[in-house]
Amino acid sequence: MRRLRYGTFLKYWNRKWTLVLKFRSQSEFAQCDICQELKSQYQNRNLCMGDRLQALKLYRTHLVSQYADRCSFWSLKDVAADQLSRILVLATDGADQAKYAIPRSPGLVHAHRAQKLVRPRLKLHAVWSFAHALRICVLDETTFHGSSMVIQALAMTIEDSMRIAGSRGAKPDTLAVIGDNTVKELKNGFCLRYLLSLILHKRLKCLRCI
Ligand SMILES: [Zn+2]
């Protein structure tokens, strides 16, 4: 198979897709605490060369481990698509509420009269069950969106996925859950107890949280 040259990709991207799909600028992504700390250390001219090199080494190790994390995520996606693997892979995340204040139309948002309005914010949380289902929950700003909301979204997605997988052949017996470090919503005792209860009630044999 011939590989597409990067120049060709850019040519077609600029001709057609750049008007439809927009890349977010780098400044719109939050930087993780470890990256920020190590970068400020190796850029600090007041530190000695040895300390700066050590910070750079740690930064590169951190980037390699982040990439390894992404690789395991991508391979789990592939594994989930194989019915015989019997592994259910769920990824869950929520969007920043500030991005979902309504109205969202750029014309209205920038209108002078609209700037005086209090724009209600929506909470958006999604659970993606690879190869099976995508559940997107949209909640009012006032709805409590702690771990109970995440557990409900996970439970409903697991139920849907089990039904879909059952209709296609074998039901999964292993669950992998991928999520970020939000202690309020996901990485806490409530969610972990819920996931462990799936094993206690013999709905699953094995659990892996990433
Ligand atoms: Zn980082």
Give the span between the Cα atoms of 106 and 74, in whole angstroms: 35
Q: How far is the CA of 70 from the centre of ligand 1 (A)?
A: 12
SS3 66: helix
pLDDT at 139: 86
pLDDT digits (tens, 9 = 90+) for 87-103: 999 999 888 776 677 77
pLDDT value of residue 51: 94
DSSP symbol at 27: G
Can you point out the beta strands (E) in the chain? Answer: 87-94, 122-129, 133-140, 174-179, 206-209
CA 30–ligand 1 middle distance (angstroms): 10
Question: What pLDDT is recorded for position 108?
Answer: 67
Dist. CA 178 → ligand 1 center (Å): 17
Structure pTM?
0.72
Kindly give the distance from the C-alpha atom of residue 187 to the centroid of ligand 1, in angstroms, as a whole number. 18
Q: How far is the CA of 35 from the centre of ligand 1 (A)?
A: 4
Question: For the chain, how many helices (H) and strands (E)?
Answer: 7, 5
Instruction: Quote the ligand 1 centre to 34 CA distance (angstroms).
Output: 5
Nearest to 176, CA basis, from 112, 89, 118, 54: 89
Residues of the chain with pLDDT under 70: 1, 98-99, 104, 106-111, 113-114
